[in-house]
Structure 1
Amino acid sequence: MRPSCCAPSRLGIVYARLAARLTLAAGAGFLLFMLTCAGGLAAAAWGFYQGWEAGAPQTRAAWWLGALAALFGVRHVLGLSLLPVPGPRGIPLSHEAAGALRYRIDEVGRRLSVPPLDGVWITDEMNAAVLQRFSRGRIETHMMIGLPLAHCLSRRQFLAVLAHEFGHLVTQRQGFGARGACLRAWWLRVAEGVATRHPALAPWLDRRFRRYTLGMLRLSRLEEFEADAVAARLVGRRLLGEALIEVSEKDRFLREDYWPKVLAQCESAPEPCIRPYRDMGLGVAAGFHAHSVLHAGFCGSEAEDAGALHPTPADRLRALRVPTGEAVPPERSAAVHYLSALLPQLSWAFDRHWWNFAGRSWRRAYRQARHALAADDEPK
């Protein structure tokens, strides 16, 4: 890997300014909630005091009822502001179980001057992500890595994806740092919580939060470009572009080829004949034909969603100034390289979860297919 170079770019400066503005807006919301709670507690204390000093029983009861109403209001406001923070998902990966992978992850973080992660998790998604959450008075950082993603990338491409995910952490340290990122996310959760508990306020909240939401959308898209820039400085633009193409193409293959073929078995088998996560590595190696899907979606064939949190792969490649190039020769997957000893346990856990989730609909589809076949066989 190349030496880390984290000097702020022009895009990073724009990101930092926008992040600072949104953090100040979220901070103003936090201050409003604190002042509301403080005012409610002061009103409750005043009501209890006046009720204690009042001579008439009716007056004392009225003051105390008002104080209880103020306490109830404070409790409700705290319930809106102290929403549960989403935690990491998946199967935790310890240093002892996957020392080579954890060492590589720690090395990438060290080269980018990012503090050590609090946890690494393996998920069943075709994705990798980092999560920062405020817990027990400190910022926790977790990385979630999809087992399908590890099956679809070589070791070098997987390293580029890790660098991109750490690039998110480097980028989020701008604009009041990680605490600012947590504060911005908290303010959005508060707005969503208020709209959910008080549907009548939803139209008003939509108007009030429109500018903030659009700013957060723009920030998310800028963060992707900046994370790409950080990763490119570490592993090189060409390798990062190669990984981006490979992820996009194989994600399309899994969605449009692999999983439809797995689910098509429900017409002829009461239970799956294969375990999809156990056989995914072999399925990708045997079924993915790069020449047939090469660069699908990179030539403007897919319209960009204006509300998408991420820019299109084509936009990211253009920002990296990397051509789509040719198909990459197949190599041993990152899953085999880093997780070979754990693949049986991981695939079994995900296959079991998938069966628990899809089993009922699978059996229903099988019965319907049997009934349809029997109806076709009846003499007319």
Structure 2
Amino acid sequence: MTNEQFDALVARLEAQAQRHPFLYKSRVLLMALLGYGYITVMLVGLVMATLLSLLFLKVLGLKLAIPLLVLIWAVLKALWVRLDAPQGRRVTQREAPALFEMINDLRKRLKAPRFHRVLITDDFNACVVQTPRLGVFGWYRNYLVIGLPLMKSLSVEQFRAVLAHEFGHLAGGHGRISNWIYRLRLSWHRLMDSLTAGGHFGTFLFRRFFKWYVPYFTAFSFPLARANEYEADAAAARVTSPGAMAQALTAVNVVGSYLDERYWSDIHRSAVDLPRPAFAPFERLAERLSSDIEPASRQLWLEHALERKTTSADTHPSLSDRLQALQQTPHLVLPAREERADLLLGPALQSITQELDGQWEQAILPAWQQRYETATQGRKRLQELEVCITEGTALNASEAYERACLTEEFGSGVEDALEQFRQLQQQEPDNPVACFALGSRLLGRDDEAGLDLVQRAIALDEDAMLPGYELLRDFCWRHGQEAAAHAWHDKLMQRAELLQRARAEREHLSLKDKFDRHGLPDEVIAQVRACLKSIRGLRKVYLLRKRLNLFPEQPLYVVGFSCTPWWGIYRRKREAGIGQRIVDELNLPGEIFCLSVDGDNYRFGRKFRWKRGTRVR
């Protein structure tokens, strides 16, 4: 199913859900039952085939039954999807009585079930999570997960509206339904990934059906998830007010953009100059909100949020659509210090904030210190290159590219770096790295001049296709060029699928594969023999080249080795250690696939033995 077909189907189903909600929900249920029905029929058929083969074919039936049982087990294992309980700092009613008073009041007014746990996390979000304690048999445990950054960004009344929205999901049973649909989607994807990756016998029984079924089930369930958001918004507006809900939605979008684009990036950027974090991000968040979001940035982020359209990329409707459903206009009101929702945590606020800050520092410190060390070395290298420029020494293309990157990251900044990238591209117009470097940065500034440069980089270098298609798609999408964005997205998916098939071809060997002589010169083989001689325990080593359908110009060398003496005992652990040493120490002009030809792989040994000129030890 193409993106256009998916979008058209979702639009048609949304219209049907509005006109005939019962009929639409019945179709979603039937689609879910269709998947279950197909799995049931296939499993019953596989079990019957296993029993009949054992009953009538005797020894031959046993050989057939083993792969059938493996396939049955793989299917059942993939279908069992367990949702883990969310993690966070648990807060109790004794610690935060004001928060729980609000929670209990909303629960009663919306007639929602109670929460078993209330958790505070470091996410800018709030959500309801229901996890079944008995798997498919239910008995749900309810969690209310609240992000401390969200509480610091909203007033008490705005936060009350957000909680009411989450209670609306719970009261309407959305959490349970959404979890069920989520588990179904995850089950189908896990099933196909498991069967495809494992190369199980009989995969064809499932592949074609689910390749058709999964996109259709996703499309059919999509409007249901989106309608749940509108219903939860309406419930929150009834319990609080439409204005409070509109303020909360506006604040979440604007503050979310501020956190993503400025707050956290500024913090992480300081790792360039500081050997360890100098402040606590969650403790200082509220005061930074009031000082950093100036009117110009506030208006820009709000305009971007309102320009976003509701698409099939997300079940959540856009801000403009949600405000329209509430019959409200956007209104950003940041809370004063005494109005912030985090004050509902009472005496527990300080300890919770300190805990989250401590956890953040502990988690980020290794990467922070590594970043600081990298920055120190980068500044030193940049200084060396600048000295070369000062002394009149010309830099080659690689050094000029390195200088521009270091200038951007550790030097005088983006503007100077952009000029260096521009000069490099003018000097090397057919250099794909230079074209992509300049083009990607121009597109990041919404400059259309980057379009031709990125497309030129793609034409010059296949490795630029994936990141290039993604950049072009995102640029077109930001500028309302939906047809072009979909076209680039289709190319991106086609390329990703091609690379995935190529990777699968290189990650698996079978006796049906064709192998050629390695074709390496004598001096390389001499180096290979010298390397293998240093690895103790090797008896025989074969070196071949797998015949590939995709990207055959990029060779895959197959190293088959034997390490079990004819009088010895086969040991899997010893075999794995020797195989890893071969991969680590052998240097060949291509990828290496190493496998033992002992044990279950003895037939590969027979096949390799008859290929003349392949034994290198």
TM-score over 0.5 for the pair: yes
Q: Structure 1 CA distance, aligned partners of 2:259 and 2:332?
A: 21
Match of 2:158 in 1: 157
Which residue of the other structure, out of 63, 80, 83, is the alignment partner of 2:81? 83
Q: Percent identity?
A: 24
1:6-25 matches, within 5 Å, as 17-25=23-31
What is the SS of the residue equivalent to 1:297?
helix
Q: Structure 2 CA distance, aligned partners of 1:16 and 1:189?
A: 25
1:311-326 matches, within 5 Å, as 311-325=317-331
- 2:116 is the alignment partner of 1:118: yes
Residue type of the alignment partner of 1:146: G
Which range moves more in the overlay, 69-78 or 326-335?
326-335
Asked if 2 retains the 8 angstrom alpha-carbon contact of 1:81 and 1:190, the reply is yes
- 2:250 is the alignment partner of 1:245: yes
1:38-53 matches, within 5 Å, as 38=44, 40-41=46-47, 50=55
Larger relative CO (CA 8 A, sep 6+): 1 or 2?
A: 1
Provide the alpha-carbon RMSD of the alignment: 3.2
Q: Structure 1 CA distance, aligned partners of 2:261 and 2:230?
A: 27
Asked if 2 retains the 8 angstrom alpha-carbon contact of 1:46 and 1:67, the reply is no
1:235 Cα deviation (Å)?
A: 1.0
Residue type of the alignment partner of 1:162: L
Asked if 2 retains the 8 angstrom alpha-carbon contact of 1:217 and 1:307, the reply is no
Q: Deviations over 1:124-182 (max 9, x none)?
A: 11111112232224122222111110110111110000001111223335xxxx65444
- Work out the number of aligned pairs and report it: 359
Distance 1:295 1:268, change over 3 A: closer
Match of 2:91 in 1: 93
Rg (Cα) greater in structure: 2
Distance 1:359 1:206, change over 3 A: farther
- 2:256 is the alignment partner of 1:259: no
Distance 1:122 1:374, change over 3 A: same
Q: Deviations over 1:51-109 (max 9, x none)?
A: 8xxxxxxx644455555555434322210211222432322223333233123212212
Which residue of the other structure, out of 190, 202, 223, is the alignment partner of 1:193? 190
What is the SS of the residue equivalent to 2:127?
strand
Residue type of the alignment partner of 1:155: V
- 2:291 is the alignment partner of 1:293: no
1:360-371 matches, within 5 Å, as 360-371=366-377
1:274-353 matches, within 5 Å, as 274-289=279-294, 292-294=297-299, 296-298=301-303, 300-325=306-331, 327=333, 330-353=336-359
Distance 1:42 1:298, change over 3 A: same
1:112 Cα deviation (Å)?
A: 0.8
Match of 1:55 in 2: none
What is the TM-score with the length of structure 1 in the denominator?
A: 0.81
Residue type of the alignment partner of 1:80: A
What is the TM-score with the length of structure 2 in the denominator?
A: 0.52
Asked if 2 retains the 8 angstrom alpha-carbon contact of 1:125 and 1:149, the reply is yes
Distance 1:108 1:295, change over 3 A: farther
Distance 1:33 1:182, change over 3 A: farther
Distance 1:23 1:183, change over 3 A: farther
Asked if 2 retains the 8 angstrom alpha-carbon contact of 1:23 and 1:183, the reply is no
Distance 1:295 1:273, change over 3 A: same
1:226 Cα deviation (Å)?
A: 1.4
Distance 1:69 1:203, change over 3 A: closer
Q: Structure 2 CA distance, aligned partners of 1:239 and 1:11?
A: 28
Distance 1:187 1:229, change over 3 A: same
Q: Structure 2 CA distance, aligned partners of 1:141 and 1:20?
A: 27
Q: Structure 1 CA distance, aligned partners of 2:46 and 2:343?
A: 58
Which range moves more in the overlay, 332-341 or 185-194?
332-341
Q: Structure 2 CA distance, aligned partners of 1:321 and 1:91?
A: 37
Q: Structure 2 CA distance, aligned partners of 1:237 and 1:106?
A: 21
Match of 2:149 in 1: 148
1:210 Cα deviation (Å)?
A: 1.7
1:223 Cα deviation (Å)?
A: 1.6
Q: Structure 1 CA distance, aligned partners of 2:96 and 2:263?
A: 28
Where structure 1 has 5 or more consecutive residues not aligned to the other structure, the ranges are 1-9, 52-58
Residue type of the alignment partner of 2:258: F
